[in-house]
């Protein structure tokens, strides 16, 4: 997260707890498995899990 804030300040980061009932629609909309981490960018799931810095840069450059 520090890397994102430092190198891409234009990106807004929102952390959502998949166990919270209020975010149930997020789980359905983006097909997120319970307890898994997912990265959503411009309304699309672009990564599941924790990306490396290199993978994160590739994702950001592709958008």
Domain ranges of the chain: 2-62
Q: What is the pLDDT of residue 22?
A: 85
> pLDDT under 50 in the chain at which residues?
none
32 in Cβ contact with 18 (< 8 Å): yes
**Residue 33: partners with Cβ closer than 8 Å, 6 or more residues away:** 48
Q: What is the pLDDT of residue 26?
A: 85
**Residue 5: partners with Cβ closer than 8 Å, 6 or more residues away:** 13
Q: What is the pLDDT of residue 54?
A: 93
DSSP state of 25: H
Q: What is the pLDDT of residue 52?
A: 93
């Amino acid at each position: 997260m520090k890397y994102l804030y430092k190198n891409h300040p234009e990106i807004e980061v929102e952390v959502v707890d998949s166990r919270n009932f209020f975010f149930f629609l997020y789980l359905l909309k983006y097909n997120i498995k319970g307890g898994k981490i997912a990265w959503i960018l411009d309304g699309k799931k672009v990564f599941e899990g924790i990306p490396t810095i290199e993978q994160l840069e590739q994702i950001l450059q592709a958008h």
